[in-house]
Amino acid sequence: MGATTAKVSICLILFAVAFRGFINAKDECLEFEINEATIEDIQKAFTRTKLTSRKLVEFYLNRIELLNPILRAVLEVNPDALDQADKADRERREDRHRSLLHGIPVLLKDSIATFDKLNTTAGSYALLGSKVPRDAHVVSKLRDAGAIILGKTSLSEWYDPYVESKSPCGSSFGSAISVATNMVAVSLGTETDGSIIYAVHVLDVIVGFDPRDYEATKSAAKLIPSGGYKQFLNKQGLKGKKIGVLRNPFLIPYKGSNVTSIFEDHLNLLR
């Protein structure tokens, strides 16, 4: 199987799962639509007692159990996730004024260190069972915000779940697939070569000075806008804008495949 065929197969699987109702993502007991729910939607459901963090984690764990044998986006789930959810529910009953990420499950790319029962392997068996000295700085900030660490996602550098000899093109593909198929609402990747662009709510939580990475973050921290990045969100931000599309030479290798038509469909959706 060639690289193009592998990528097309992945796209077709994702379309079938995400857009054709592979599973009804509604918890009937809660009467709350978790499918495609945003962080704000989930927090409103918490406030209105239509949802708890435990119910949310249970839902995502069920989704992972059902979909992951096909998609293989999640490498490992956190055995302490439900305990963290119970803790978040207790804290919410005591004080409702908490971070937007409080009680929200988050999946992490498996190159992001966690000092807990989870492995940090980058998808490599060579690192299975190794221990990291501490949480990565972004993980510490997520925990401080009350987020629930749900598990770790796959990478392409060491492991392609579809074709062992090929790359799915994007080392944060596990993080992307897990969100696209509603196995979690928030997933963290890393930007090395076009993998992912962080969601603004998560960025506001994890951005900032890291004393262990003094030289790299001291100057950058000064550029963080007062009030965070959320203030710049604008649902009509693209209205009236012109976006240039470079088809050549990038689409030439995909001539005759479904990739081109899928690309054009998404472009029409943006229009």
Q: Is residue 120 domain-resident?
A: yes
Residue 57 resides in a domain: yes
Residue 41 counted as domain residue: yes
| 124 among known catalytic residues | no
Residue 173 structural domain = 12-233
Checking if the pLDDT of 199 tops 80, the result is no
Look at residue 81 in the predicted model and tell me its pLDDT: 98
- We report the CATH number of the domain holding residue 53 as 3.90.1300.10
**Catalytic member of 53, 111, 171, 178:** 171
Which of 7, 53, 55, 109 does the annotation list as catalytic? 109
Q: How far apart are CA 243 and CA 5, in angstroms?
A: 28
Query: For residue 266, is it within any domain?
Result: no
| Alpha carbon distance 7, 184 (integer Å) | 23
- What is the count of structural domains for the chain? 1
What span, in angstroms and rounded, lies between the C-alpha atoms of 258 and 271?
20
**Any catalytic annotation for residue 219?**
no
Sign of CA dihedral 183, 35, 204, 81: negative
Confidence of residue 164 (pLDDT cuts 50, 70, 90): low
Q: What's residue 41's pLDDT?
A: 93
- 131 catalytic residue (yes or no): no
- 154 in any annotated domain: yes
Q: Is 258 domain-assigned?
A: no
pTM given for the model:
0.69
Is residue 33 a part of any domain in this protein? yes
